[in-house]
Amino acid sequence: MVLASGRAHPELAKAIADELHTELVPMDAYTFANGELYIRFGESVRGTDVFVIQAHADPINRSIMEHLIMVDALKRASASRITIVAPCYGYARQDKKHRGREPISARLMADLFKTAGADRIMAVDLHTAQIQGFFDGPVDHLWAMPLLAAYIRTRVAPDSITVVSPDAGRVRLADQWSDHLGAPLAIIHKRRDPRVPNEARVHELVGEVEGRTCVIIDDMIDTGGTIVQAAEALMENGAKACLVAATHGLLSGPAVERLRDSSIQEVVVTDTLPIADEKRWEGLTVLSIAPLIARAIQEVFDDGSVTSLFSGNS
């Protein structure tokens, strides 16, 4: 087994290596004056099973390009098998055409990694499950729900929780949370203005939330607009308190200010993406995803079962 890491989130890569009691392969990486990237691995990888860890973090295009170049370097260095480990898979929200003349960028991403030489992809909580079919090879789809839900149980009595989907697209995920926690489900219906990205309007709430502690779940928090509007709607309908649980903390633009100044009691995310100190506040909790990824890597390396890591995940 060989672990390699890009420069986007070295702390997570180091934590994964520590969990596996190994070291990251040495690598020279730098950026030319014109923005081009250079990669060279410092030791032989011939015949090895390589796991290439890279968070698709801001600046996302540079992170992805570095990931692709690392794969190409490993392929040309005669690595036996190359597994992409993308804790947060870039462009995952562009998984289908909403209107004519739009790209399906999530599929393009899969094609790029295949062309570069990747044999396998490992990611945490893809935006939609269909992305697994975009890659011509095995895809290990890891779930952060057990990790997040275990933490939520330490913060809220299970019999007082209502799981809330902030929009129709997250209903299936919320339903899984509802089953996992044995809690009722509520759904917020909203409509987006296609002319204004990253903004939405809440229209109605389906489900009983009065006097309940509501846990809003999502796969990612970007600008925070959807989450904050959902929390406001829940509090207006008599919710006792609101917490948020999401896998990927993008926290773009005004997200930190919106979330910090809202009625949300606590926001819980994992460290699939790096979160700078200036984006952290008292109400933010960041859980480590490294143990889960490390266990999945070990299962793949041993030709074991990644599915066995998740009860009920088929």
Q: pLDDT of the chain along its 314 residues, tens only?
A: 999 999 999 999 999 999 999 999 999 999 999 999 999 999 999 999 999 999 999 999 999 999 999 999 999 999 999 999 999 999 999 999 999 999 999 999 999 999 999 999 999 999 999 999 999 999 999 999 999 999 999 999 989 999 999 988 899 999 999 999 999 999 998 766 566 666 656 668 999 999 999 999 999 999 999 999 999 999 999 999 999 999 999 999 999 999 999 999 999 999 999 999 999 999 999 999 999 999 999 999 999 999 999 864 43
Which residues have CB under 8 Å from 108's CB, separation 6+? 91
Which residues, listed in sequence order, are joined to residue 121 by a DSSP beta bridge? 84, 139
Let me know: does 215 contact 163? Beta carbons within 8 Å: yes
Sign of CA dihedral 53, 58, 64, 66: negative
**What span, in angstroms and rounded, lies between the C-alpha atoms of 300 and 1?**
10
**What span, in angstroms and rounded, lies between the C-alpha atoms of 251 and 47?**
40
Give the pLDDT confidence score for residue 190 in this predicted structure: 72
**What span, in angstroms and rounded, lies between the C-alpha atoms of 290 and 19?**
7
**What span, in angstroms and rounded, lies between the C-alpha atoms of 31 and 80?**
28
Question: Which regions of the chain does DSSP assign to beta strands (E)?
Answer: 2-5, 27-31, 37-41, 49-53, 81-86, 120-124, 139-142, 161-165, 185-192, 200-206, 213-221, 241-249, 266-270, 284-287
Let me know: does 30 contact 38? Beta carbons within 8 Å: yes
Judged on CB neighbours under 10 Å (0-12, 13-18, 19+), 314 is exposed
**pTM score of the predicted model:** 0.93
Let me know: does 108 contact 127? Beta carbons within 8 Å: no
- The side-by-side arrangement of strands in the sheet containing 241-249 is 200-206, 185-192, 161-165, 213-221, 241-249, 266-270, 284-287
Question: Which regions of 56-199 does DSSP assign to beta strands (E)?
Answer: 81-86, 120-124, 139-142, 161-165, 185-192
* Token pair of 306 as six digits: 């990644």
Neighbours of 140 (CB within 10 A): 21
Let me know: does 5 contact 20? Beta carbons within 8 Å: no
Give the pLDDT confidence score for residue 167 in this predicted structure: 87
Name residue 9's amino acid: H
Of 211, 263, 266, the closest CA to residue 243 belongs to 266
- Selecting among 14, 97, 114, 190, the annotated active-site residue is 190
Q: Which domains are seen in the chain, by residue range?
A: 2-143+291-309 (3.40.50.2020), 145-287 (3.40.50.2020)
Name residue 35's amino acid: G
Give the pLDDT confidence score for residue 314 in this predicted structure: 39
Active site residue 190: yes
Q: What is the CA radius of gyration of the chain?
A: 20
First to last CA, the chain: 26
**What span, in angstroms and rounded, lies between the C-alpha atoms of 215 and 91?**
26
Which residues have CB under 8 Å from 100's CB, separation 6+? none
